[in-house]
Each structure stands twice: as C-alpha cells, then as structure tokens.
Structure 1
Amino acid sequence: MGADVLGRRAVLALLATLAACGDPASRARSRIDTAWHRADLDALLQRWLAHAPLPGGGFQTQFNRAWQPLPRGELELTAQARLVYAFAAGHELTRDARYLDAARRGADFLVERFVDPVHGGFFHAVAPDGSPRADIKRAYGHAFALLALGQVWRQGRDVRHRDAALKAWGAVRTGFFDARGGLVNECGRDFKPMAGARTQNPVMHMFEALLALGEATGDAGVLAGARRLGDFVCYQLLQGQADGGARIPEWYDEAWQPLPTQAAGGYIDLGHQFEWAHLLTTGAAVSPVYAQVAERVLAYALAAGYDDNDGGCGRRAFPDGARTDMGKGWWQQAECLHALLVTAGASGRNDLWRRYEQTLALVRDQLADAAQGGWRAAEALPCKTGRCTDEQPDPYHMVSLHHAALRLAGATAQAG
C-alpha cells in the first residue's frame, strides 16, 4: 500500500477523532457502557417477566431476593404502572415481543380495573380480582399511569391506551392542580382535594410523564401541561444558592412554602435533585430555560451530595445546615448515574463523564446482583453493614436509567 494512501488514512482517522472530541453525541456513544446497560436490563426484566404476571392481568410486585412472592392484599396503582412502563421500555430497547405482550396486558388491566367509571381518573388500589379497594386518587400514581400508558401506546399503537392516557390527563388537569400551580397530593374519589402538606415528588413525576406522553402523542395540550409544571418548579420552587447552584426542596405547606428546618420535616432529597437535572435537560425541548436550570440543580447536587472519592451520592441535605446524610441508597445511585450520563451527553463535559464512570463502577460492584438479576435494596451502602433489605426493588429506576443510556448511545434495537 502506498505511502500517500496511508497518509490519507491517518489524516482521516485524526479528523474523525477530532470530530468525536467536539461532538457530544459521538462522545456519548463512546463513553456509555452499552454492553453493561443492556446486560443489566435483560437480567432484570427476564426475572420480572418470569415471576410478576398474574392470571387476571395485573402483576405481583413484591418479592424477596430469591424471587419468592411476598403477601399482597391489594394491587396498588403506582407499582402496577411502573411495571407496565418497564416492560414497554424493555420492548423498545430489545424488540422482545414478550415484553410488549406483558406491557399490553398490564395496560389493559389499568384501563379495565383502575379507571373510575364515574368520576374518571384512577383508583389508588384494587383487589386481586380487580374490584376497587381504595378509591382515593393520588397524583403520584396518576403520573406513573400516564407514563406507562404513553410508553405502551408508543410501542403497541393501540388507540385505547392513547385515548385512556389523554382522558386521564384531562382528569389530572381539572382535578389535581391547585391555585398556585402545583399538584394536590391526594383527592377523594370525586377529586375533592384533601388537606395536607405538599411535596414536589408528584410534580416531578407528572412532568416526566407529560414529557414522555407528549413525545409519544404529539398532543399540544400535554406539552403545555409539561411546560406549566416545569415553569412552576423553575419560577416558584427553585431556591438559588450563593455559588450559582440551585435546589428544589422536598416538602412544603399548603401554600407551597418550604418546610424550613430538619426538625420541621424540611429536607432536600439529593436523589431527586439528580432526577430533576436529567428531566429538565430532557425538557429543554419544551423550554430553553430548563437546560440552564438543570445545570444549576446539578451543580448543587454535586456540591452537596456527590462522593468524589468513591462515586455515588448521598440521600439528604437540610435547609438549616444540618449535616448531610451521605448514606447511599439504591435508587439514589440509579438517578445519580442517570443524571450524569444525560447531562454529560448534552454538554460533553469530561468531569461528568468521569463521574459517570466512577458511579457506574460503584453500582456494578455493590448494587447490581448478577446472581439474582436485580439490584440490592440498599438503604445505605455497603450491604455488609446490614442495611440492605431482603426484597427486590421494583425496576422503574433501573429501566429508566438503561432506557436513557441506550437511547443516548443509539443502541436501541431495530424493529424486525
């Protein structure tokens, strides 16, 4: 081979390398450990598929580490919907038809058994035979029902699931929003609001659900709802810090004033700060402001709760300066890892990729359980301290993490 050809190849290789260095998307494809994300997803969902489906259409959602079912007296909306979402997302990533079949059956069960035929919306819980067990309405559960139905519609294209999701969004819009623009935590069956403190958690997951449902359906009203909630958080709940970071407290009174001290019940959930960072980054298509807010929230989360020695994040910081709780719970590590890869993919920042790799090593070493095909239910790592419980955490946080990683890396399966 001539020297001129070798020279041209060397130049082309150098140009390709330089282009990848300047292209966040190319860098994401090279830095994300797609093999691990796919293997962990498969190990997780194969076990849930083998053990969770019930004859009547719902899911058994509680197991010990050995996948032995734990007693259940009712089927709760959030847990059912999170499994529907997990199976539907699993189908998108693998094209395994078994996952889509399970997701469709679960979605049908949601629509047939959880939907209130009188007042709309979803019951909080039903008996194993599908009869209503708890007819209150919870915003948190409705968020996951919307997320699940939107994902099943996206994969299965059954208009019943799309229509049920949009109808439920109508019930949320009229039933859960309060005068200040946030969400009431609980309502009676007729959507009469129940008195009580407010929390950002259902707001966050409703924002997540509406982003996904809007992407799946293109419905302008759904996307407007996502913008409404995102603006509420960014302009009313966000607390700027002196160093330029910003945080979103967890609990509020009924007027959405944050609880001021640890003794009063006030805290900042660090896992939720990382969760907001990746959701607001994703939500930049709805409002460009959200990407800027995401950077500030991530900066706070890293400064307040990231372990730069061993990777991963703590659980809680406190508004009155009390010592941060640096216990490393399982789901917080999933959200920390999720935020690092999404924000690194959007920005190309090497410091975020370094932390992604560091936290991934922590997760692989201490949380992912190759023998059982799930994650260890750690309240605070390491498990040798006795703070891991004998149960299988539900797969929502892990599947959401893998979904983001594989989509960002361009490693989703192609339809046959």
Structure 2
Amino acid sequence: MPELSFTSAAPGAWRDKPWHRAWLESQANILFDLFDPVAINPKGGFFDLDPSGKPLPGSAVRPIHTTARAVHCYVIASLLGRPGSDRMIDHGMNYLWHSHRDAQHGGYMWSLDDNGPKDASKQGYGHAFVLLAASSAKLVGHPLADRMLDDVTTILNDRFWEDQHGAITEEFERDWTPMRGYRGQNSNMHLTEALMAAYEATANQDYLRKAERIADLIINRRARECDFRVAEHFDEQWSVDRSYKAVNEMFRPSGTTPGHWLEWSRLTLQLWVLGGKSHDWMPAAAETLFRRSVELGWDRSKGGFFYTLDWADKPSFRFKPWWPIAEAAGAVTFLIEHRPSPFHEEWYRRIWNTIAESYIDREHGGWFEELDENLVPAHSLFAGKADLYHALQACLIPLYPAQGSLTKAIG
C-alpha cells in the first residue's frame, strides 16, 4: 500500500471532534472485548493471545511486565466504569504479589510458568512495571497496592538506583549478584513513566525527582549529544555503546529505536507538566524528538515506523511493530496540546489514518502486532496478538487533557 500523499487539512483539531472521539472510544472497547473473555490464566497471570484472539499455545511462560501492564490497563477500565475490570485487577495483583515476588531474596522475578520461576533474574524493566501496577492499583483501592508500592519502591531505591548517575542499573541474578557491564535506556524510560504514576498516586516528591534525573541523563544529556537520537545501550558509566549487538531484538535491539524517541517525547512533556513547567529544556526536546522520529524513522514510501535504525540513520530492522505508531499517537496528542502547530495536527491525522488502514484487525479485533515493510501482517518478533498496553493508551490519551497519566486524568 503506497504512503498517503494527501492528509486532510479540514479546519479544526480531530481530537476535538465528537465523531473522532466516539471512534477512539469504540476502538478502546474493541480492545477490551478481545481480551476480557479469554485473557485470565486460571493458574495465574494472563494468557498471550494468538492472531485470532484465543489463548496462544505455548504461552505458559508469563513474564512479569505482561501481568503488570494488564493490571494497569484494567485499572484504567475500572476508572472508566467497565464492568468486570476489578476481577482482572485482583487476578493480576495477586499473581504479582504471591508468585512473582521472591519471598526468599526479595524483589520480583522476571518470568514464571506453571511450576514456578522460569527466569528468576531481577530486572529493572520488570520492577518498573511492578511500580506502575502498584501505583495504578492504589487509585482504585486494591488491598495489595500500598504493600506492593512500598515493597517495590524499597527494592528500586536499595538495589537498582545509582545516585551517582541518576538512573537504575539493569539486572541481577536471583540472589542479587550483579550482572555487570550494561546499562539500558528502555528500563529507565519505563521507570520514568512509573515514577510519575507513583508521584501522582502518593504526592511523594522523591518519585518525581528521580524521574526528572533519569530524563536529564537520557534525553537532556545523552540524546542531545546524539542530535536527539535516543541511544539504547550504555556501559556502566553511561557512555553510549554504539557497537552493541542485540541478543534480544524485542527488549534490546541493536542501533536506535524511533518508537522510543516517540515515547520519550510524550513522557518528557508529561514530566514537564508534573514538575510545574520548571525545566525549560523539556518542551523543545519533546518537539525535537518527535520531529526526528518522523524525519528518520517514518517510511516515506509505504508508511509506518521502521523498528530500528543503524547509527547512519538507515533502516535496520525494517518491519513495523504496532507499538511505535501507538506511541506516536500519544506523543503527538501531547504536542498538539502544549506545542500546537499545523505540523503536529497533520501528523496526528497521518498516524491515525495509518493505524485505521493497516494496523486494526477488523476480522478478529485488536491490532496486528507487527507489519512487514509493505504493511502486511507478519510474525518475526511476536507470535500472536499484542497486549493491551500500547494500543489502549493510544486510543484513550487523545480523549483526556494531556496533563498527566491516563489513570490520573480519568480518575
């Protein structure tokens, strides 16, 4: 399918139009309708779904972020008033607390199967999502929320946080033996999101200050040094590692990842608002991150965002997962509110046109988790449907003031 050569310039912002808003709400409901009936694994956690929306064979291994993100999404559903959501929250919170939480050594194990720990390592990425789940669950009064929030905060502060750098280390063995030699932006980016949610849930300034320090390191210093390409991989002193070769394309891909530039664009503006608009560098950085992502990461021939670029800005992994364009929708929404321009409105429409034409699975519901270079559904990285997290937030963020997290805006 060729890239659109025309993007409507009809007057008025799309996100203000009742029809567009109703369409976004309907898409969010379709996502919930896909997951609600089948997602709960009776042995704990949630099933991954196959392309038709049924439990995916071989999905007995449950990584922690899948459960934590489901809790966050169903808190959103509960705040919206969607019946059945509280059961999903309770199921996920209990699995995090009673199964992923390591009663022997402390912290939260990365993945479990029906027999217990599968990968018992303690990863910053996973702990960031536990913090997000606990912070979100606190907003609906879940009985485990305060205990989990206190517990994971202590672990993050005592085990992961490196105050000399203003960011977290990456991972440990189950017994807290360090895995040395690597620092990553992805875990710190998601921790920034979770720290903001924790600040909104508790008003504890320490969460906000840590989020600001991470953003200053990764965006204001390291990304700025790279002409606002967000580096993914670093050594222990937070020097950029441009030679890093991926051993896990899903969580640590080689090169740079424009989808993360888009994610940081939104998070930086959200952090600017939460911090009282006191950091002057943040709005311009958010705008530049978005512009660089569409200049370098967007496929001008066929549309969609390439997954990765090399350091010469050439597409490396040319397939197009769902989450970068979902994050683009959230980022451009925040930009339209805080840095309004015809450029941002044009991209808002282009992004949603591409999602509607290529990413939405009209036969089975939900979104295609991956398209190839020609925008044809593919499965090189993912075996089945994507979870709710990215697509749901893309649909809902435009419906609320771009002043904080969705849970805070809805609640």
Partner AA of 2:138 in structure 1: W
1:114 is the counterpart of 2:106: no
TM-score, structure 1 normalization: 0.83
Partner AA of 2:393 in structure 1: S
2 CA distance for matches of 1:276 and 1:95? 29
Q: Which residue of 1 aligns with 2:7?
A: none
Aligned equivalent of 2:238, options 242, 247, 256 = 256
Aligned equivalent of 2:142, options 158, 169, 193 = 158
Q: CA deviation at 1:115?
A: 1.4
Q: Map 1:73-222 to 2 at 5 A.
A: 73-92=60-79, 94-128=80-114, 131-154=116-139, 156-178=140-162, 179-222=164-207
Structure 1 357/309 Cα, relative in aligned 2: closer, same or farther at 3 Å?
farther
1 CA distance for matches of 2:410 and 2:174? 41
2 CA distance for matches of 1:331 and 1:386? 14
Structure 1 44/403 Cα, relative in aligned 2: closer, same or farther at 3 Å?
same
On the 8 A contact 1:127/1:133 being kept in 2, the answer is: yes
Q: CA deviation at 1:307?
A: 4.4
1:232 is the counterpart of 2:208: no
2 CA distance for matches of 1:353 and 1:278? 15
Aligned equivalent of 1:397, options 378, 390, 397 = 390
Q: CA deviation at 1:357?
A: 0.8
Q: CA deviation at 1:326?
A: 5.3
2 CA distance for matches of 1:394 and 1:95? 20
Partner AA of 1:135 in structure 2: A
Q: CA deviation at 1:50?
A: 0.5
On the 8 A contact 2:230/2:256 being kept in 1, the answer is: yes
Q: CA deviation at 1:409?
A: 8.2
> What are the superposed Cα offsets for residues 275-318 of structure 1, whole Å, 9 maximum, x if unpaired?
10011111102252322321222222122223467653222222
On the 8 A contact 2:167/2:213 being kept in 1, the answer is: no
Q: CA deviation at 1:209?
A: 0.7
Q: CA deviation at 1:390?
A: 5.4
Partner AA of 1:276 in structure 2: W
Q: Which runs of 5+ in 1 are unaligned?
A: 1-19
Aligned equivalent of 2:335, options 336, 340, 343 = 343
Q: 48-57 or 387-396, which moves further after superposition?
A: 387-396
On the 8 A contact 2:256/2:308 being kept in 1, the answer is: yes
Name the SS of the counterpart of 1:256 in structure 2: coil
Partner AA of 1:258 in structure 2: V
Aligned equivalent of 2:267, options 266, 273, 279 = 279
Q: Which residue of 2 aligns with 1:54?
A: 41
Q: CA deviation at 1:400?
A: 2.1
Partner AA of 1:203 in structure 2: N
Give the aligned length. 387
Q: CA deviation at 1:383?
A: 4.5
Larger radius of gyration: 1
Structure 1 52/283 Cα, relative in aligned 2: closer, same or farther at 3 Å?
same
Structure 1 215/365 Cα, relative in aligned 2: closer, same or farther at 3 Å?
same
Structure 1 113/198 Cα, relative in aligned 2: closer, same or farther at 3 Å?
same
Partner AA of 1:268 in structure 2: T
Q: Which runs of 5+ in 2 are unaligned?
A: 1-10, 247-252
On the 8 A contact 2:336/2:344 being kept in 1, the answer is: yes
On the 8 A contact 1:268/1:318 being kept in 2, the answer is: yes
Partner AA of 1:393 in structure 2: A
> What are the superposed Cα offsets for residues 169-196 of structure 1, whole Å, 9 maximum, x if unpaired?
1201221124533322211223332113
2 CA distance for matches of 1:291 and 1:32? 30
Structure 1 69/234 Cα, relative in aligned 2: closer, same or farther at 3 Å?
closer
Partner AA of 1:41 in structure 2: A
Q: Which residue of 1 aligns with 2:249?
A: none
On the 8 A contact 2:320/2:373 being kept in 1, the answer is: yes
2 CA distance for matches of 1:390 and 1:325? 17
Aligned equivalent of 1:316, options 286, 308, 316 = 308
On the 8 A contact 2:265/2:286 being kept in 1, the answer is: yes
Q: 387-396 or 282-291, which moves further after superposition?
A: 387-396
Name the SS of the counterpart of 2:320 in structure 1: coil
On the 8 A contact 2:48/2:384 being kept in 1, the answer is: no
TM-score, structure 2 normalization: 0.84
Q: CA deviation at 1:324?
A: 6.1
Partner AA of 2:327 in structure 1: E
2 CA distance for matches of 1:195 and 1:249? 19
2 CA distance for matches of 1:415 and 1:268? 33
How large is the RMSD of aligned CA atoms in angstroms? 3.1
Aligned equivalent of 1:333, options 300, 325, 340 = 325
Structure 1 135/309 Cα, relative in aligned 2: closer, same or farther at 3 Å?
closer
1 CA distance for matches of 2:221 and 2:210? 16
1:269 is the counterpart of 2:254: no
Name the SS of the counterpart of 2:118 in structure 1: strand
On the 8 A contact 2:56/2:384 being kept in 1, the answer is: no
Q: 382-391 or 293-302, which moves further after superposition?
A: 382-391
If each structure's helix is expressed as a fraction of its own residues, which one has the higher value? Answer: 1
Structure 1 210/415 Cα, relative in aligned 2: closer, same or farther at 3 Å?
closer
